[in-house]
């Protein structure tokens, strides 16, 4: 059915026989690449890049050319969704995202756009996919992504990055009805958005719940899982990867979602994850991003250890986005170690 030349990622997700795991890196389109930095430095800001279809296509394809990874991931930002809903954000260099206006009450939530009406505002993303598909020429699958509803709510309430997201969590405790309404609106928008991304050519979807670990089991069960579940159920056109960073306490619930791949951060011991969930669940991850600062021999050793421990049904990746100051040569050692690896035995 698919015309992707290197379909190792799709085969792995389907449970087909492969000789090695596919490999890509979260944040592979970014500061680790000199060709990215060149484009980025020629622009006024990060948002200009996110909103310029031919440029975002160019930086999306760069890691496929430079690193030889088995998938491209569309260059974008999870905060395009709040913006489409009516909440503008800025990206301040070395400080991160910032919302000049935040959500403070149910009335603020009521005013937000949602669903198809919001998703339609993101024409530059869909144009970017069109450009990317042309440039990729079906060499590898294209991954599209979205933030999970809780993580997006966290930014919309808090107004920016935070160690604790205490204001966002306060909203969950104090404004139960408004919080659920906001999560509903984000979820509806995200589903419409992802369906349009798929229509324009994304072959796989990843949902990032970056701040999952700030909630405990009770809050996560109430405010996160049901909304991710709705997204997973709604997206039946292509496989979906769920990466809930830090949500070890909810890993049973996540594994039971109708998602195709469970992303793991580097806190997980791969052998223990296999022991708990069996050999059939497809995991993605999970080398410590800081391991790519190590000498070459250590990167090779730790990567091979991880590959052996996960065995088949595994997508090799880091346990978080690659850090921007990671030496490019070390990233290549990681990618090539996976590409040179062969599973023992026959299918």
Residues at the contact surface with a copy of itself, assessed by CB under 8 A: 161, 163-164, 166, 169-170, 172-174, 213, 216-219, 246, 248-249, 266-269, 288-291, 293-295, 298, 302, 319, 323, 325
Q: d(Cα 319, Cα 304) in Å, to the nearest integer? A: 15
Give the 3-state secondary structure of 253-302. Answer: HHHHCCCCEEECCCCCCHHHHHHHHCCCCEEEEEECHHHHHCCHHHHHHH
3-state DSSP assignment of residue 108: helix
Strand pairing report for 240-244 and 96-98: unpaired
Comparing CB distances to a copy of itself, the nearer of 249 and 343 is 249
CB nearer to a copy of itself: pick between 1 and 297? 297
Q: Taking the chain, what is the end-to-end CA distance rounded to the nearest angstrom?
A: 22
- Min separation Cβ 36 and a copy of itself, Å: 19
Instruction: Print burial letters for 2-13: b (CB count within 10 Å at least 16), e (below 16).
Output: eebebbbbbebb
* Minimum gap (Å) between residue 149 Cβ and a copy of itself: 18
Please state the closest distance from residue 161 (CB atom) to a copy of itself, in A: 8
Active site residue 20: no
Strands 204-209 and 240-244: parallel
Task: Quote the CA–CA distance of 45 and 55 in Å, as a whole number.
Answer: 13
What is the Cα–Cα distance from 3 to 113, expressed in whole angstroms?
36
Quote the least distance from Cβ 91 to a copy of itself, whole Å. Answer: 16
**Eight-state DSSP code of residue 315:** E
Q: Which of 40, 139, 274, 312 is catalytic?
A: 40
Q: Tell me, yes or no, if 155 is annotated catalytic.
A: yes
Residue 232 backbone phi and psi in degrees, to 5: -60, -40
Q: In terms of CB distance, is 119 or 157 closer to a copy of itself?
A: 157
Active-site pick, 7, 20, 70, 77: 77
C-alpha–C-alpha distance, residues 338 and 161, integer Å: 33
70 is catalytic: no
**Catalytic residue, candidates 7, 20, 27, 227:** 27
6 or 167: CB nearest a copy of itself = 167
Give the nearest distance from C-beta 78 to a copy of itself in angstroms: 16
Whole-number Å distance between alpha carbons of 192 and 250: 26
Nearer to a copy of itself, 163 or 346 (CB): 163
Between 182 and 291, CB nearer to a copy of itself: 291
In whole angstroms, the minimum distance from the beta carbon of 295 to a copy of itself comes to 7
Residue whose token pair is 């009770």: 218
The catalytic site residues sit at 27, 31, 40, 77, 155
């Amino acid at each position: 059915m698919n015309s992707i030349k290197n379909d190792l990622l799709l085969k792995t997700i389907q449970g087909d026989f492969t000789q090695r795991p596919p490999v890509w890196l979260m944040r592979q389109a970014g500061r680790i690449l000199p060709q990215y930095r060149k484009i980025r430095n020629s622009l006024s800001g990060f948002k200009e890049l996110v909103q310029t279809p031919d440029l975002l296509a160019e930086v999306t394809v760069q890691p496929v050319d430079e690193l030889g990874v088995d998938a491209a991931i569309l260059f974008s930002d999870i905060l395009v969704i709040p913006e489409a809903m009516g909440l503008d954000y800025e990206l301040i260099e070395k400080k991160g995202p910032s919302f000049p206006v935040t959500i403070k009450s149910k009335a603020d939530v009521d005013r937000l756009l949602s669903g198809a009406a919001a998703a339609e505002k993101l024409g530059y993303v869909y144009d970017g996919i069109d450009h990317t598909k042309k440039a990729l020429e079906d060499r590898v699958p294209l991954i599209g992504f979205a933030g999970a509803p809780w993580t997006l709510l966290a930014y919309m309430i808090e107004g920016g990055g935070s160690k604790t997201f205490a204001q966002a969590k306060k909203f969950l405790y104090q404004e139960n009805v408004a919080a659920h309404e906001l999560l509903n609106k984000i979820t509806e928008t995200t589903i419409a958005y992802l369906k349009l991304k798929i229509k324009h050519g994304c072959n796989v979807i990843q949902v990032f719940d970056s701040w999952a670990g700030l909630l405990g089991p009770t809050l996560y069960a109430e405010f996160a899982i049901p909304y991710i579940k709705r997204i997973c159920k709604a997206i039946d056109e292509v496989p979906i990867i769920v990466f809930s960073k830090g949500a070890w306490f909810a890993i049973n619930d996540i594994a039971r979602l109708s998602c195709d791949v469970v992303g793991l951060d580097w806190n997980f011991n791969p052998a223990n994850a296999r022991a708990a969930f069996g050999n059939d669940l497809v995991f993605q991850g999970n080398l410590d991003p800081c391991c790519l600062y190590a000498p070459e021999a250590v990167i090779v050793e730790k990567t091979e250890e991880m590959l052996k421990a996960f065995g088949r049904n595994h997508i090799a990746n880091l346990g978080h986005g690659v850090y921007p100051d990671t030496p490019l040569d070390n990233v290549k050692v990681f990618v090539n170690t996976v590409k040179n690896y062969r599973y023992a035995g026959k299918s």
